Structure 1
Amino acid sequence: MATAFFSCGPFLHHHSYFCKSFFCCSNDADASSTWSLPKSTSSSYTRRWYNPSSRIQLNEGVQILRHWIEADQPSASEEKFRVVSYNILAERNAWKHRGLYPNVPSPYLKWNHRKRVICEELLIWNPDIICLQEVDKYFDVSEIMEKAGYVGSYTRRTGDAIDGCAIFWKADKQMSKAKSRRLLIGNIHVLYNPSRGDVKLGQIRYLLSRAEILSEKWSNLPFVLAGDFNSTPESAIYKFLSSSELNFMSYDRGELSGQSGCHPAEVLGVKKKSCRPFFSLESQTKGFWTEEEVKVATGSADCQVVRNPFMLTSSYATLKGSSTTRGPTGEPLATSYHSKFLGTVDYIWCSDGLIPTRVVDTVPIDILLKTGGLPCEKVGSDHLPLVSEIAFTRTSEESNSQ
């Protein structure tokens, strides 16, 4: 797991695990409302799985447009800030798992190309705060971001992997006004392994517990949580994030993250979900967890309920998009796409005191499929960046002045 924290406020302090800094929230010049990707070149490949876009010449003439979606939020104040969350696909992972990208021409997987495209993607939306996951070339990215006026901080994830999480923020947004409000930012990349729901839940639970301590220490700061949660909107972990608690022992391990059935061919109904032995075994042992797994998930071997100290709202689920980009929960139909996965695992969450006012909608599934899989010429990762503009709620003084 990799996590990073920082708090926006009139101070600057660094810790070996939690990274904190500050900026001033204000209205910025608007970024382009649409983003058009030019034509890319095609490449031959060996088809190892059913490709739903096999009749289309892949990576040729695919135009991706992303638009702002906004809604009138009467309780939103004028103090706003813009957040991007983006899993940028670590260079090591791109080549270690080359089999996930059979349709992607090699030039589009090379780091020098992806680095440039990723930074272009980030800067075009003019964010105040950038939360990145799967960063293993931090100094390559920070060199470009610093030239664009950003300051950054990096935390390597636990375990043997060499990537981690990074946060960048605008250097000229340091809190200069005493009355400017503060907030806490969290950034996380949750374990991928679908069979270790106990670890996934434990990682999120631990982050939320630390965020609660920091928030209370600084007069109950509102909290923004961004990242790759490796859990779909149909999962128990998603339900936990959007509620106050979860009795996780009533779920099996597959239900916790909801990743099964997300192979592109299964999502599109081309083939039925595979019935692997361990799935049927888990259905028979539903609710059975070892003492060690319970301890990992909850922090205590005697606990069955995991508590969420924040009332979190998903920014994308709050602002409705079209049926071509959104699913039944209101979340995007897909934030990640490669040969083995098509679905949503990335989110930007807001606590009480904050209101999402607009988001950059994701890409319609039919357009996404025409790429044959990400990365592509103008998308530098196998994920799409999420972009959300968030406002503080109005104070009583602001409401009375209306």
Structure 2
Amino acid sequence: MLTTYNDSRKKCNTSGGFFIAKGHVMLLGKLSGVGGHLVRRRLAARPPSPRLRRLSGALGMEPGERRRRPPWERKRKAGEMENRGQDVSGEDGQVVASRASGGDVAPPDRRWETWPVGGGAGGGAGAVDLTVMSYNILSQDLLRDNAHLYSHCRPEALDWSHRLPNLLAELRQHDADVLCLQEVQADHFETQIKDALRAQGYDCVYKKRTGQKVDGCAVAFKTSRFSLLSSNPVEFFRAGDALLDRHNVGLVVLLRPRDGGRGGTLCVANTHLLFNPRRGDVKLAQLAVLLAEMERRSRLPDAAKLLCGDLNSTPWSPLLTFLLAGRLRYRHLPANAVSGQERVPRGPQRLLPDPIWSLALGINRRCQYESPPASSAAGAEEGVASGVPAKGREEASKSWHLEHHLCLRSSYGPRLWPDGSAAVTTYHAHSAAMVDYILYTPWGSKGRGLQLLGRLSLAGQAQLERAGGLPNARHSSDHVPLLARFRWHLGERS
């Protein structure tokens, strides 16, 4: 390929691809011709042309920005340098690998961000303020089984004897009213975590993953603030179902406030969806089961809803779009594009089928459990939602869409303020992305629901790199905790 740089009516040719202006110029390719080094020196003194500025923007880079290696490339290079006894530092002089730092590193700067309370939104007898945390605490067995993801960490920072006190200290520090924890190892929960949480005033509900898995999900709540109405474990595995053959689980818990002056129900769902980036069909089916459970358990008109967890999906993915918009049209959508984990999909592009899951699951396209047919008379057909004219399974299977009616909003946006960089909730040797969420039903026209008051800010990839990556000596998971404060309005708006 031949690219021409035209500035002040002077031209130079490059081969080997394109180049990007860098305040001066950085060449991505080789300059050809005699005296190429002299051309470089001349170009270094010239400002970038409008054409190169446009090219830089198309690549998502500023004219003065160097191409940054992905985190796993930087860590691999850091490991090689460490083995040769060299200093390990990033492009800005900061330590990339925590093992090479030799000492404690500063945690990423996370600030409390508040939202203004509008008129008529003040607290009172019909409102309850509460804080909610969602946190994947990294199961020790999973850490051990995936040790290659944490080769950048100091070995002592990965020991459970070091990690447990750090994790419990984080929970004490934030002191949330409701905790949604993922990757909670069953034996650690029974022998250590449950008692520690109870000592802090929590009651706990736990669901272990099915099969031979050793971790699960936990929901804990302050007994001084809430009483437990019901606890409903959700198993996504269905024997004999070729799609729902994975052992992920969830929890749907109903809580009643002890204060507030009025009744009300808080539906809290917590889950950890399948990781596999190529199985978006499985993720959507698991999510449909969870949404159906939420809808069935929280049919009371005054119920507010929270959906927390590690959804293994990025903010711009079709899966998150479905959750926030309430609908998804998936004709020609590849299964490995559902979660957004793969920027460049690999392997064959297997499209989602229609319907995605079997009608035998008993969940319709609105992610609701089917009501049993009132009779076998004409107009009622098994597998078709009640109240919808029976058109036959063949016609119903051609609509290529999903929907739900929970009306969810995210507590966190995908970008950081004020620089607009991407928010990150998990960081290890193969990924730095936002996959954890606190979703809620917003305060609506009928005066019921949750109003976001504030949240603990997230960090960006650069901040986490400066802190030594995750986990590190002070932060003992490969995820960061999400923390949001809400005002729960229980009655009609004035």
- Relative to the length of structure 2, the TM-score reads 0.61
1:247 pairs with 2:285: no
- Which stretch shifts more, 294-303 or 141-150? 294-303
Aligned partners of 2:306, 2:340: CA distance in 1, in Å? 23
How far the C-alpha of 1:243 sits from its partner, in A, is: 1.1
Structure 2 residue aligned with 1:53, among 87, 90, 93?
Answer: 90
1:194 to 1:373, Cα distance in 2 relative to 1, 3 A: same
1:230 pairs with 2:312: yes
**Matched residue, 2:170:** 121
Q: Report if the CA contact (8 A) 2:285-2:356 is conserved.
A: no
Q: Report if the CA contact (8 A) 2:327-2:401 is conserved.
A: yes
Structure 1: any 5+ residue segments left out of the alignment? Answer: 1-43, 262-272, 328-332
**Matched residue, 1:322:** 417
Question: Which protein has the larger Cα radius of gyration, Structure 1 or Structure 2?
Answer: 2
1:171 pairs with 2:223: yes
1:380 to 1:116, Cα distance in 2 relative to 1, 3 A: same
- Which stretch shifts more, 220-229 or 157-166? 157-166
How far the C-alpha of 1:70 sits from its partner, in A, is: 0.8
Q: Report if the CA contact (8 A) 1:108-1:380 is conserved.
A: yes
Q: How does 1:25-40 map to 2 (within 5 A)?
A: none
Q: Report if the CA contact (8 A) 1:185-1:225 is conserved.
A: yes
Structure 1 residue aligned with 2:285, among 199, 202, 210?
Answer: 202
Letter in 2 for 1:122: L
Q: Report if the CA contact (8 A) 1:325-1:363 is conserved.
A: no
**Matched residue, 1:106:** 155
How far the C-alpha of 1:394 sits from its partner, in A, is: 7.2
1:189 pairs with 2:272: yes
Q: CA RMSD in A?
A: 2.8
How far the C-alpha of 1:348 sits from its partner, in A, is: 0.2
Structure 1 residue aligned with 2:205, among 130, 153, 157?
Answer: 153
Q: How far does the alpha carbon of each residue in 1:42-65 deviate from its partner, in whole angstroms, 9 at most, with x for none?
A: xx97359xx993753343433422
How far the C-alpha of 1:309 sits from its partner, in A, is: 2.0
Structure 2: any 5+ residue segments left out of the alignment? Answer: 1-76, 82-87, 227-256, 368-382, 384-392, 443-448
**Matched residue, 2:108:** 64
Aligned partners of 2:332, 2:450: CA distance in 1, in Å? 32
* 2:412 alignment partner, SS class: helix
Aligned partners of 1:87, 1:289: CA distance in 2, in Å? 31
Aligned partners of 1:168, 1:236: CA distance in 2, in Å? 30
Letter in 2 for 1:358: G
Structure 2 residue aligned with 1:335, among 422, 425, 442?
Answer: 425
How far the C-alpha of 1:176 sits from its partner, in A, is: 3.6
1:392 to 1:52, Cα distance in 2 relative to 1, 3 A: farther
Letter in 2 for 1:68: W
Q: Report if the CA contact (8 A) 1:187-1:227 is conserved.
A: yes
1:204 to 1:53, Cα distance in 2 relative to 1, 3 A: farther
How far the C-alpha of 1:391 sits from its partner, in A, is: 1.2
Q: Report if the CA contact (8 A) 2:437-2:482 is conserved.
A: yes
How far the C-alpha of 1:289 sits from its partner, in A, is: 2.5
**Matched residue, 1:392:** 488
Letter in 2 for 1:335: T
**Matched residue, 2:458:** 362
* 1:184 alignment partner, SS class: strand
**Matched residue, 2:441:** 351
**Matched residue, 1:80:** 129
Q: Report if the CA contact (8 A) 1:77-1:393 is conserved.
A: no
* 1:172 alignment partner, SS class: coil
1:73 to 1:249, Cα distance in 2 relative to 1, 3 A: farther
**Matched residue, 1:39:** none
* 2:287 alignment partner, SS class: helix
Aligned partners of 2:206, 2:488: CA distance in 1, in Å? 26
Identity percentage over the alignment? 27
Aligned partners of 1:340, 1:83: CA distance in 2, in Å? 29
